[in-house]
Amino acid sequence: MVSRGIFIDDAGTPGTHSKSVFLPEDRKSFCAVIIPDKVYSEIEYAMNILLNGIKDDYGVEEIHCTDIYSNRGPWKEVSISKRIKIFDFLTSFFVTFQLPVIFQTISHQLFEDHPSLKSFTSPKGIWWDFKKVEHLALFRLCHVTHNLLKEFEQVSPNNLSKPFPTFIDEGLVKAGSEIELMRWHESFLNAKITSVRSKDSFGIQLADFAAFCISRSQWIMGKIDPGKGLNEADKHILSISGKLNLWNLDKFEVDHSTFSRKNYEFIMMKDRKEKGLNHKPSKK
């Protein structure tokens, strides 16, 4: 029986060509949401109320935020105000319980930034294939999550019960399968990730929400032409992302009337320079 967990979902790409070189189309992102045992039962109870409500009202068995935002499928006839309420209700879980969120993106640019990785081969007999961007992104997410949990334990010992059962939305492997991590036993129970169907896991659906809001926020910042400003939907998504308890992403305030892609790219160039990389990604 699950009483806590790390829940992982992929963000993919926003589905539209990005205007920014910092958001290549081949990127792959994964998002982890940590639900501690102290709040797990409360969140489970409230999420069941929400999920039962949308099933009764809209015939929907699970939450897919891309569909809700895009007004697709069963959400096609649902008003904007009702869809906003669902997003705001989901946001309340992250605000009320300060659920840790870790987000990781990898693209083929990694191999250009670090040419030595091009010759790296995965050991035989394991599932991981480090030539694949999605495998690298997931592995890096787990590595970062493990390190952050260790740091948190040092400043707040005994506040999180480790190791965590860890779950990922089916896709990379079929539901019921397990991905062996081979390390980080202190953070991930039995050093493995179990693949599950999102409709069977409210934690995965919360990870879907966080992944969508963060990846959408990145796309919003990368699309805004100078002088255009933000529309109300964009402002709302950025506001939600700003409320998340992001453990590995920096936050910054923006002026809705003047912010543009140039501001976003300046921040990204500064970050790359601080890491000793070329200020802009290559165009390969």
| Domain membership flag for residue 281 | no
Give me the domain span that covers residue 95.
Answer: 5-274
Whether the per-residue pLDDT at 14 is higher than 70: the answer is no
Query: Is 98 contained in some domain?
Result: yes
Instruction: Describe the chain by its helix, strand, coil percentages, rounded to 5.
Output: 50, 15, 40
- Average pLDDT over every residue of 199-219: 95
Would you say residue 284 lies in a domain? no
With vertex at residue 51, the alpha carbon angle to CA 63 and CA 104, rounded to the nearest 5 degrees, is: 35
- Tell me what the pLDDT averaged over the chain comes to: 92
Predicted TM-score (pTM) of the model is: 0.94
Give 136's pLDDT tier (boundaries 50, 70, 90): very high
Asked if residue 280 belongs to a domain, the reply is no
Whether residue 192 has pLDDT greater than 90: yes
- Cα separation, 271 vs 255, in Å, equals 20
Q: What is the domain count for the chain?
A: 1
Q: pLDDT per residue over 111-130, tens digit each?
A: 999 988 888 888 888 999 98
Rg (CA), the chain: 19
Q: Are 8 and 141 in contact (CB under 8 A)?
A: yes
CATH, residue 71:
3.30.420
In a domain, 282, yes or no: no
Query: Is residue 12 predicted with pLDDT exceeding 80?
Result: no
Q: How many CB atoms lie within 10 A of CB 22?
A: 22
Calpha distance 235→240 (Å, rounded): 9
State which amino acid sits at residue 20.
S
Instruction: For residue 269, tell me if it sits in a domain.
Output: yes
Secondary structure element (H or E) that encloses residue 179, with its range: strand 178-180
